Chains A and B, each alone.
Chain A
Amino acid sequence: MLDSLKQKILGIVTPQTVTCPSCKKEFQSKEMKAASYICPQCGKYLRVGARDRIAMTVDKGSFKELAADLSSKDFLNFPGYADKLTAAKESVGENDAVICGVCSIGGIRAAIFVMDPRFIMASMGSVVGEKITRLFELATKKKLPVIGFTASGGARMQEGIISLMQMAKVSGAVGKHSDAGLLYITVLTDPTTGGVTASFAMQGDIILAEPGALVGFAGRRVVEQTTGTALPENFQRAEFLLKHGFVDSIVSRDKMVETLTNLLRCHGVKIS
């Protein structure tokens, strides 16, 4: 009722059903959300939007968003970018592909960023880079740990070389935060690839991953084309990274808050 009213007034269309990409069973959106986007039938981890992820992770009512008003600009007049931005903003209802803010988790204050794979595959352009950089700068100043949920198709090619420079910009801010003796935990979610993997996703003091998350530098198809061989099913999955030593732990969605809380506690962060 409320949804249909919202649709009428704001023109926002909320899909009523979600189909599991693995077992293809259809569920009511509400039911899927209540299940934390884990398919009730087959157990597949579905991708989670940034707002939902924040709601699943932080203490209720504790989230204060930062730099929400930044939005991307088509400064290279890149073919199709302006339309792509408009469409993403409309369908996702966010200004860009990352949400940043300050919150508490298990009663412990932390800075948090969450990338949203629904927004142009959470590709990293100026806005994503700037928001995450500002978050690290604030966290360094306020002596807060940073929790980052990564997801990304890589750098946003529509912003040309400036998107590549975001990798260095964010890395610089991560480095300053680290030099101040502060904790940075990354949670790699499906999919984390390209320039985000090759920068702040892999710079955490502790790197967690969700089960089955695809994490890599080069895309699977590119690797197959380069080497001319078929790759195993588990290639670049979280379990593959764990085996090769690039992830500290794979944490299921129902244990994420508890795990983050325990890690924060172990780093001498005072309970507020």
Chain B
Amino acid sequence: MMTAGEKLRIARMNHRPGGVDYIKKLIDSPIELHGDRRFGDDPAIVGGIGMLNGIPVTYITTDKGADLSERIERNFGCPKPEGYRKAMRLMRQAEKFQRPVICFVDTQGAWCGADAEERGQGEAIAESILGMMGLKTPVITILTGEGGSGGALALAAADRVYMLENAIYSVISPEGCASILWKDSSRVNDAAEALHITAQDMKELGVADGVIAEDFENFDAMCANIRDILTSELAKLTRVSGELLAQGRYERFRKFGIFEK
């Protein structure tokens, strides 16, 4: 069994496929749609319309960039407020045309720069979560690498949440946690363990509905499996009315909480 610290390092490896790689494999004739219609276009989030196994869908993905110049262009996959606002614009559009939404998330978190604060990073994420919770069309999220806190949840308030087997999902970066707890950011492994961040932890806690096997050597086969999972989930979800979908999503998240009376 791998430790949480080892999983964390694997989830962050540069050679993992990026969000755009999944879109290329899974979505036929994708048309990328840009911009939030408010401020700008955030390259850290890519979204558009295309066909998934014959079903028109809206796809939204974070992307860290494949090489250094692309990484800089995409801000290492850390979205800014305009990224979340673009995502919400595309989700509303999907809702209008009754298209399902498929999200792929791999981000260390929302961008923590002064520019993001000025443009309301908190408000953008809050609106995204609120919007997703009430969305009257199916939405499925797959966490493919790092699920970094609110910046990941902003694209993961979904009907179904899947994780790749070495993906992680965490309320705070293990480094940040270690520095708060022990004033020592090098105790990453201990913090990762304490936080319970692995896909297997998420399955156990009910945060993830399923864990998807990774096989990057056979990426085509791996994506065929993802396509099958998405297709079978959509077959179920597209039969449900928008109102009932939102109600089901509410119940899905309503149950999270462990406390004493």
A binds B: yes
Query: What is the CA–CA distance of A133 and B194 in the complex, to the nearest angstrom?
Result: 27
Query: What is the CA–CA distance of A244 and B125 in the complex, to the nearest angstrom?
Result: 16
In the bound complex, do residue A216 and residue B126 qualify as a contact, i.e. CB atoms below 8 Å apart? no
Number of residue pairs A-B, CB distance < 8 angstroms: 185
Chain B residues lying within 8 Å of A244, measured Cβ to Cβ, are 118-120
- CB-nearest residue of chain A relative to B208? A161
State which of A13-21, A26-34, A36-44, A65-73 sits at the interface with chain B.
Answer: A65-73
Chain A residues lying within 8 Å of B181, measured Cβ to Cβ, are 79-80
In the bound complex, do residue A73 and residue B260 qualify as a contact, i.e. CB atoms below 8 Å apart? yes
B249 contacts chain A at the CB level, 8 A cutoff: yes
In the bound complex, do residue B258 and residue A194 qualify as a contact, i.e. CB atoms below 8 Å apart? no
Query: What is the CA–CA distance of A71 and B259 in the complex, to the nearest angstrom?
Result: 6
We find that the number of chain B residues with CB closer than 8 angstroms to chain A is 52
B257 contacts chain A at the CB level, 8 A cutoff: yes
B226 contacts chain A at the CB level, 8 A cutoff: no
Interface bits B115-151 vs A (CB < 8 Å: 1, else 0): 0111111110111011001100000000000000110
Chain B residues lying within 8 Å of A72, measured Cβ to Cβ, are 259-260
Chain B residues lying within 8 Å of A227, measured Cβ to Cβ, are 113-114
Interface bits B96-114 vs A (CB < 8 Å: 1, else 0): 0000000000000011111
Q: In the complex, how many angstroms separate the beta carbon of B203 from the nearest chain A beta carbon?
A: 11
Query: What is the CA–CA distance of A246 and B81 in the complex, to the nearest angstrom?
Result: 13
Q: Which of A198, A223, A229 contacts B126 (CB 8 A)?
A: A198
Chain B residues lying within 8 Å of A198, measured Cβ to Cβ, are 110, 121-122, 125-126, 129, 150, 154
Known contacts A165-B253, A168-B157, A218-B121; A223/B197 CB under 8 A: no
Q: In the complex, how many angstroms separate the beta carbon of B93 from the nearest chain A beta carbon?
A: 19
- CB-nearest residue of chain A relative to B254? A169
Query: What is the CA–CA distance of A194 and B117 in the complex, to the nearest angstrom?
Result: 11
A249 contacts chain B at the CB level, 8 A cutoff: no
In the bound complex, do residue A164 and residue B133 qualify as a contact, i.e. CB atoms below 8 Å apart? no
Q: In the complex, how many angstroms separate the beta carbon of B75 from the nearest chain A beta carbon?
A: 11
In the bound complex, do residue A155 and residue B171 qualify as a contact, i.e. CB atoms below 8 Å apart? yes
Query: What is the CA–CA distance of A261 and B249 in the complex, to the nearest angstrom?
Result: 35
B201 contacts chain A at the CB level, 8 A cutoff: yes
A2 contacts chain B at the CB level, 8 A cutoff: no
Q: In the complex, how many angstroms separate the beta carbon of B198 from the nearest chain A beta carbon?
A: 10
Q: In the complex, how many angstroms separate the beta carbon of A208 from the nearest chain B beta carbon?
A: 15
- CB-nearest residue of chain A relative to B256? A165
Known contacts A195-B149, A217-B117; A157/B171 CB under 8 A: yes
In the bound complex, do residue B129 and residue A171 qualify as a contact, i.e. CB atoms below 8 Å apart? yes
In the bound complex, do residue A217 and residue B121 qualify as a contact, i.e. CB atoms below 8 Å apart? yes
- CB-nearest residue of chain A relative to B251? A172
A160 contacts chain B at the CB level, 8 A cutoff: yes
Q: In the complex, how many angstroms separate the beta carbon of B130 from the nearest chain A beta carbon?
A: 5
Chain A residues lying within 8 Å of B176, measured Cβ to Cβ, are 222
In the bound complex, do residue A218 and residue B257 qualify as a contact, i.e. CB atoms below 8 Å apart? no
Q: In the complex, how many angstroms separate the beta carbon of A115 from the nearest chain B beta carbon?
A: 15
In the bound complex, do residue B259 and residue A167 qualify as a contact, i.e. CB atoms below 8 Å apart? no
B59 contacts chain A at the CB level, 8 A cutoff: no
Query: What is the CA–CA distance of A81 and B254 in the complex, to the nearest angstrom?
Result: 24
Chain A residues lying within 8 Å of B200, measured Cβ to Cβ, are none
Interface bits A218-255 vs B (CB < 8 Å: 1, else 0): 10001100110101000110001000111000000000
Chain B positions within 8 Å of A, measured between CB atoms, are 110-114, 116-123, 125-127, 129-130, 133-134, 149-150, 153-154, 157, 169-172, 176-177, 180-181, 190, 194-197, 201-202, 205, 207, 249-250, 253-254, 256-261
- 26 A-B Cβ contacts within 8 A? A69-B261, A72-B259, A73-B258, A127-B257, A127-B259, A157-B171, A160-B170, A160-B197, A160-B201, A162-B258, A164-B150, A164-B170, A164-B171, A169-B256, A169-B257, A197-B123, A197-B126, A198-B122, A202-B123, A203-B126, A216-B117, A216-B122, A217-B110, A226-B113, A227-B113, A246-B120
Q: Apart from A70-B260, A171-B133, what 17 extra A-B contacts exist at CB < 8 Å?
A: A72-B260, A125-B259, A126-B256, A126-B259, A160-B197, A167-B150, A168-B256, A172-B250, A194-B150, A195-B150, A202-B120, A202-B122, A203-B130, A217-B112, A217-B116, A223-B114, A226-B111
Counting from the closest, the 6 A-B pairs by CB-CB distance are A197-B122, A218-B112, A165-B256, A126-B257, A217-B122, A202-B126
